[in-house]
Structures are given as C-alpha cells and as structure tokens.
C-alpha cells in the first residue's frame, strides 16, 4: 500500500529555519509504523523524486520568511518544473514534476509553511515558532493517524 | 569595427557564482577572455581563534556538495596536530566515505549538470537543456543518474549519520564504527550501481565522435597535471604522495603533502576572488597545472581494481602522453565512478571493516598540521597552525578549483576563439563557453571559501570598455 511521505527541511543552525525539521523529528516519535516515511533534511535534493513516486501522499514542511510567526499555513502543491536551478537542491514542485517525468507518477502533496521570526544563527527556535511547531505536530498527528493510508 | 566585450553572467550549471567576459578586437576576433568568480566567503580568516577540534565540522560548512572532502582533509590536518597514527579501520572507513562522496558528486556533475549538453546537444533549446529536459527525453539515463547519486548519498548517511554536513569524521579517526547492517546494505546495492556505471561509460564512449569539435577546443592544450598517487603510483584518493607530471608524461616531482609550499604557490588577480595556483619551480604562467579526474588518470601508473583498470588503459590510449583535452574530464569522471564502486566493494569486504577501534585520542602535540586528500574536483589541502591551547592562529586552504583556475581561464579563451565570432551573441556558442567551465566541474563555494547557487553573466565590451551586449542565466 502507498504510504505517507513527510519531508521536514531546513537549516537547524539558522534559528527558525529549522522549524520543518523540528516537526519531522517530533512526528517520528508520534507516527510510527510502515504507513509513514519521515525524513528530516538539510535541503531538498533531486534524488528524492524516487521516494515521492512511491508515496501515496506527500507532506512538505518548511519555514517561511514571510507571514506572522506563531502560526502555520497550508499550501496545496502542483508539479511545476524548475529548470536550470534543479541541480543539487530543488523545490517541492520541481521534485513532484521530476517524480512524474522519471517514474510515471507523483503523489498528492501539501506544503506546510511555518513563518519564522529569527533566521540568524541561534540553533534553537523562537518562542512563537515553537508554538507553531506544537500546533502543527498535533494537527498532523491527529489527522494522519486516522486518515493516512497504511502500507 | 570597435573592440567589444561579451559577458556571460551568470555561468549556469556549476556550483557557485561567476561570470565570463570575452573581449573582442576591432576586427571582432576574440582577444582575451576571463572567468570571474564573484563571491567571497573568507573561511580561512574567520576560523582563527576556534579550537582545532572544531575545524572538521566548521570546514564541512564550506560546501553542501563536497562537505565530506573538507571533513577528511581537515581531520587529516588535525591528526597531525594530535601527532597520532589513526587506527587502520578508521582510515579504511574514511576511504569508503570519501569514495561515496566522489561517486555522488561525479554523478551530480555528469548526469545533472553536463548530460543536458551531451544528450540534447550544445545548440539545443536552452529551455529544455536541463536535467528535467533529460528526464523527459531520456528517462532511463535520468533514472540512472538519480539512482547513482541516491546511492552515494545514502552510503554517506549510512556511514556518517546524515547526507549533508555529517560530523562523523573527527580528529584521530571517526566517531563510531560501521555496523554489519550498514555494511550489508551498501554491499547489496553495489552490483546495480556497477551495472549503471558500466552502461553509462559504454554510452559515453559510443557518443564521443559527435563531440569532435568540443574535444579539439575545450581547454585542449599542454599543462602540468597534479594529483595524489598511492603505492606504486596507483590511483589514490585518500593518502599517498603528491605528484606533478609534465605535458609530455614525465614525472617532475613526487613529494609528501607536508612540503606542498615548496611546490605550489598562489597569486591573486584583480578580476576574481578565486586565487590561482601554479607549480612554484616553473613560476607563473609556465607552471599552470590541472587537477581532478583527468589529472588523476594522467599522473598514475596503475589502477588496482579490475574493471576500472581496463577502462583506464583504454582511456590512456586517447593520447600518446597525458590526455590533454578537458572535454575528457567527463570520461575520467565515469571511470572514477566505476573505480569508486569497485574499491568500496573491496574495502567493505575486508575482515576488519567492523573493527570497533576507530579513534585515537590525544592532546595537542604539534603546532601545525597539513591534510591532503583527493576531492571529486581535485586535490584538497588544509593547513592549520595552532597555539599551545589548540586554538587556530592561521589557516590556508588550497581547493581544487583554485588549482584549475589558470587552466579554466585559458580554456575559456580557447573555446571563445573557436566558437565566438563578431559582435552578435548566439546562445549555442555561449553555451560552449560555459560548457568548458562545466567540464572542470568547478565548485566556487569551496574555492572562495557563497551560498552555493550558481549564476553566470556574459558581457560583450567594445574597445572603450562599454558593454554592447550581455546575457544572464535566470
């Protein structure tokens, strides 16, 4: 059965940029089982296209430089190629396009964005972002435990 | 006709930020060409005052593509500061990690960055001349590229805990031994990877005839070559002696990395943040040399894995002496992927690969350390000095792209003279100017010690220095 692929990504040495990885790491403890593949990544790379092609749904979690800190935003994703920049890093849309082009399919995908407050050099999250991380972890844990397809 | 200058800015499908400027004379012929690296980072300076044992992790942050290379060269320099001989299995595991890095980086360079030129053609529509264009037109080849890079990255993760910026390589060895499960997982994937590597090599060799013009004009000139060599002059990426070879194939120097300063000097040009290295005894520009896969396959006397050895022998038949055309960097990269896979198999099959003794502990015993290893793009050198408390007082990094800088500039001039004519810019000819740089696979983030995204600008300037045409990648 196809599974749910969760990709939290960002730089944990740049303050709130690590929010997506914080969510992924928390979800690893909350969502255990063959129905979930949870990756905590520094950045998105092209070879993730293969993982995406095998998933039933994909959830990308990233920090955002825009928006009000203390909440999260949900953005539906569609495959959209990114040309010359698709090398050692990639956007979620480009990865979905690559999965479809290379392996014939791409999953339904959603991007959750967590607006950050401090992107300087602390290796911890700001208070409002910690709150948003808690909220998103609770939301995804609850919704995926009941709704995600099991492998 | 007035003199003009063409500027390509940014140069695309390389690692980092740069531009190329091509100066035309009054007849519209290319008079001079420059490869400008336009980013500055300054790692050598801002690490001063940090404890030496932080250096491997700090230096790995120079680059998201080849952090492992910096980890290894840095840790080797720190081994010297500790004055320890690291446990044999630590060296073995570092070698496996370095080879996984070389495999994934060469796969990135060949399949993601350069295969669009090779598969779609240098003159094809630039909108489709990228890895997604390759995926649409040649999906099997694109899948091979993704798979090979995925293997390299997952092997790095299996050994070192994560794919990018791992901290597993430490002064004195590595921080934890290999598990039987990780070893078996890596070994189980190698037959498939060897099939992909062989298939790609066979395809490349069958296509070379189509690129006769590029072979003839892509930085195809005599230079020196430099790389590490192992015992009996064998192909080596982790240890050994540094060797300089002249363009006729004669070894002119074999020396330990610790005496690099007697053989290599650097100069700075006002038009680039990238320093230029040269062979000191011959001075600049006579001492211009190349490093990287092409240089490694030129300077060695043997390869100690069976299939790569055969491929190397065939490669060396391209020229009577060293292979001079930089177009063949692509070919050399593919031979090295094959070698890396075979060598990993050898190393991982050794009896002691699971030996838990992987780290030597000591305090500061030397005030200075020099670490040399072969990164995917060429010889990487880290040199540190510390005070009695082990704090860094001075550091010098010589990076593969710096070794190649003079040859890349000369290559840009050669290809521009061959393909650029008149005062009108055509995309196909400019792509060839970029592609000669791509063949070297420069890593500007590393060599300027930027944020990694490559962008290229080409400017055309007249005799008065005015920009009369330009183009920029998006």
How far is Cα B241 from Cα B15, in angstroms, rounded to an integer? 28
- Chain A partners within 8 Å of B147 (Cβ): 47, 50
Is B108 in contact with A87 (Cβ distance < 8 A)? yes
Q: Which residues of B touch A (CB under 8 A)?
A: 12-13, 15, 64-65, 108, 112-113, 127, 130-133, 135-136, 139, 142-143, 146-147, 149-150, 153, 162-165, 452-454, 473-474
How far is Cα A77 from Cα A7, in angstroms, rounded to an integer? 14
Q: Which of B338, B355, B372 is the last residue of a domain?
A: B355
SS3 (DSSP) at B87: coil
Instruction: Let me know if residue B385 belongs to a domain.
Output: no
End-to-end CA distance of chain A: 4
Number of folded domains in chain A?
Answer: 1
- Chain A partners within 8 Å of B453 (Cβ): 85
B122 and B111, same structural domain?
yes
User: Interface pTM (ipTM) of the complex?
Assistant: 0.70
Predicted pLDDT of residue B450? 33
Predicted pLDDT of residue B38? 63
The CATH number for B111's domain is 1.10.645.10
Instruction: Let me know if residue B460 belongs to a domain.
Output: yes
> Within B270-368, where are the H helices?
293-299, 306-316, 329-348
Beta-carbon count within 10 A of B185 CB: 13
How far is Cα B177 from Cα B181, in angstroms, rounded to an integer? 12
B343 and B216, same structural domain?
yes
Longest dimension (CA), chain B: 72
Instruction: Let me know if residue B366 belongs to a domain.
Output: no
Beta-carbon count within 10 A of B43 CB: 16
B185 and B92, same structural domain?
yes
Size of interface A-B (CB pairs under 8 A): 73
User: Do the Cβ atoms of B426 and B420 come closer than 8 Å?
Assistant: no
Residue A82: closest C-alpha in chain B: B132
Residue B110: closest C-alpha in chain A: A87
Is A86 in contact with B162 (Cβ distance < 8 A)? no
User: Do the Cβ atoms of B122 and B431 come closer than 8 Å?
Assistant: yes
B193 and B91, same structural domain?
yes
Q: Mean pLDDT, consecutive 10-residue segments, chain B of 474 residues?
A: 64 64 81 74 82 90 79 97 98 98 93 87 79 82 92 92 78 96 97 98 94 90 97 95 97 96 89 86 95 98 98 95 96 98 98 97 97 96 96 91 89 84 71 84 57 50 66 52
Is B143 in contact with A102 (Cβ distance < 8 A)? yes
Beta strands at A55-64 and B169-170: parallel, antiparallel or unpaired: unpaired
Instruction: Let me know if residue B400 belongs to a domain.
Output: no
Measure A96 CA to nearest chain B CA, in Å: 11
DSSP B128-142: T-SHHHHHHH-HHHH
Type and span of the H or E element at B9:
strand B4-10
**Residue B146: which of A46, A83, A88 has the nearest Cβ?**
A46
**Residue A84: which of B15, B452, B473 has the nearest Cβ?**
B473
B210 and B336, same structural domain?
yes
B213 and B100, same structural domain?
yes
The CATH number for A69's domain is 3.40.50.1450
Can you read off the two tokens belonging to residue B336? 């090295």
Is A49 in contact with B146 (Cβ distance < 8 A)? yes
Measure A145 CA to nearest chain B CA, in Å: 27
B245 and B154, same structural domain?
no
Is A50 in contact with B146 (Cβ distance < 8 A)? yes
Is A84 in contact with B143 (Cβ distance < 8 A)? no
Instruction: Let me know if residue B315 belongs to a domain.
Output: yes
How far is Cα B157 from Cα B90, in angstroms, rounded to an integer? 17
B258 and B243, same structural domain?
yes
Which DSSP state fits B85?
Answer: P
How far is Cα A146 from Cα A139, in angstroms, rounded to an integer? 11
Residue A141 has pLDDT above 80, yes or no: yes
- Per-residue pLDDT band at A52 (split at 50, 70, 90): very high
Can you read off the two tokens belonging to residue B339? 């070698």
Can you read off the two tokens belonging to residue B346? 């050898």
Instruction: Let me know if residue B179 belongs to a domain.
Output: yes
Residue written as token pair 């392996």:
A103
End-to-end CA distance of chain B: 31
Q: Which of B277, B301, B324 is the last residue of a domain?
A: B324
- Chain B partners within 8 Å of A42 (Cβ): 64, 162-165
Query: Which range marks the domain in which residue A78 is found?
Result: 3-147
Instruction: Let me know if residue B459 belongs to a domain.
Output: yes
Query: Which range marks the domain in which residue B153 is found?
Result: 87-220+328-355
Instruction: Let me know if residue B78 belongs to a domain.
Output: no
Predicted pLDDT of residue B36? 78
**Residue B113: which of A42, A81, A87 has the nearest Cβ?**
A87
Predicted pLDDT of residue B455? 45
Number of folded domains in chain B?
Answer: 3
How far is Cα B330 from Cα B116, in angstroms, rounded to an integer? 13
Residue A40: closest C-alpha in chain B: B162
Measure A31 CA to nearest chain B CA, in Å: 21
B199 and B99, same structural domain?
yes
B230 and B216, same structural domain?
no
The arithmetic mean of pLDDT across residues A93-111, rounded, is: 91
pLDDT digits (tens, 9 = 90+) for A60-77: 999 999 999 999 999 988
Q: For a pLDDT cut of 70, what percent of chain A falls above it?
A: 90
Predicted pLDDT of residue A88? 54
User: Do the Cβ atoms of B60 and B166 come closer than 8 Å?
Assistant: yes
Is B139 in contact with A49 (Cβ distance < 8 A)? no
Is A42 in contact with B165 (Cβ distance < 8 A)? yes
Residue A50: closest C-alpha in chain B: B146
B339 and B197, same structural domain?
yes
Measure A83 CA to nearest chain B CA, in Å: 6
Q: Which of B305, B324, B343 is the last residue of a domain?
A: B324
Report whether the peptide linkage leading into residue B141 is cis, meaning its omega lies within 30 degrees of zero. Answer: no
Q: For a pLDDT cut of 90, what percent of chain A falls above it?
A: 60
B196 and B105, same structural domain?
yes
């Amino acid at each position: 059965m196809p599974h749910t692929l969760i990709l939290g990504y960002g730089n944990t040495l740049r303050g709130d940029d690590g929010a997506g990885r914080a969510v992924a790491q928390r979800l690893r403890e909350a969502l255990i089982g063959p129905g979930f593949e949870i990756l905590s990544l520094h950045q998105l790379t092209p070879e993730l296209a293969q993982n995406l092609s095998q998933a039933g749904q994909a959830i990308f979690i990233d920090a955002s430089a825009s928006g009000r800190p203390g909440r999260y935003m949900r953005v539906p994703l569609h495959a959209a190629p990114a040309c010359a920049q698709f090398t050692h890093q990639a956007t979620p849309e480009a990865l979905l396009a690559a999965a479809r082009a290379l392996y014939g399919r791409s999953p339904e995908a959603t991007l959750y964005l967590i607006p950050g407050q401090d992107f300087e050099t602390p290796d911890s999250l700001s208070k409002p972002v910690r709150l948003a991380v808690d909220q998103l972890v609770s939301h995804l844990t609850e919704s995926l435990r009941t709704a995600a397809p099991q492998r | 006709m007035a003199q003009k200058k063409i500027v390509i800015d940014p140069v695309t499908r390389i690692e980092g930020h740069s531009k190329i400027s091509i100066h035309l004379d009054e007849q519209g012929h290319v008079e001079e060409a420059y490869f400008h690296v336009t980013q500055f980072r300054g790692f050598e300076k801002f690490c001063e005052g940090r404890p030496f044992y932080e250096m491997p992790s700090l230096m790995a942050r120079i680059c998201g593509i080849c952090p492992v290379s910096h980890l290894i060269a840095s840790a080797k320099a720190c081994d010297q500061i500790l004055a320890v001989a690291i446990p044999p299995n630590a060296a073995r595991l570092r070698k496996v990690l370095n080879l996984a890095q070389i495999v994934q980086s060469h796969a990135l360079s060949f399949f993601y960055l350069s295969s669009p030129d090779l598969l779609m053609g240098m003159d094809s529509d630039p909108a489709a001349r990228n890895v997604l264009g390759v995926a649409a037109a040649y999906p099997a080849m694109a899948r091979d590229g993704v798979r090979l890079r995925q293997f390299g990255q997952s092997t790095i993760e299996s050994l070192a805990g994560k794919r990018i910026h791992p901290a597993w390589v430490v002064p004195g060895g590595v921080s934890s031994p290999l598990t039987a499960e990780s070893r078996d997982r890596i070994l189980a994937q190698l037959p498939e990877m060897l099939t992909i590597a062989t298939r790609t090599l066979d395809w490349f060799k069958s296509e070379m005839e189509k690129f006769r013009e590029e072979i003839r004009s892509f930085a195809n000139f005599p230079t020196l070559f430099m790389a590490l060599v192992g015992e009996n002059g064998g192909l080596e990426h982790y240890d050994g002696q540094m060797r300089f070879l002249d363009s006729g194939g004669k070894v002119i120097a074999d020396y330990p990395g610790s005496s690099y300063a007697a053989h290599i000097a650097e100069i700075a040009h006002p038009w680039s943040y990238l320093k230029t290295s040269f062979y000191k005894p011959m001075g600049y520009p006579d001492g211009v040399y190349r490093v990287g896969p092409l240089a490694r396959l030129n300077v060695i006397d043997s390869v100690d894995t069976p299939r790569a050895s055969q491929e190397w022998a065939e490669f060396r038949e391209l020229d009577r002496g060293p292979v001079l055309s930089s177009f063949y960097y692509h070919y050399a990269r593919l031979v090295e992927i094959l070698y890396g896979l075979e060598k990993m198999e050898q190393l991982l099959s050794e009896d002691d690969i699971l030996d838990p003794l992987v780290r030597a502990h000591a305090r500061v015993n030397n005030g200075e350390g020099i670490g040399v290893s072969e990164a995917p793009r060429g010889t990487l050198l880290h040199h540190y000095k510390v005070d009695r408390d082990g704090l860094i007082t001075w550091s010098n990094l010589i990076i593969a792209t710096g070794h190649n800088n003079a040859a890349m500039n000369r290559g840009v001039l050669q290809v521009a003279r061959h393909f650029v004519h008149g005062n009108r810019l055509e995309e196909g000819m400019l792509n060839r100017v970029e592609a000669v740089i791509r063949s070297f696979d420069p890593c500007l983030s590393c060599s300027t010690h930027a944020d990694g995204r490559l962008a290229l600008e080409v400017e055309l300037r007249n005799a008065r220095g005015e920009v009369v045409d330009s183009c920029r990648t998006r």
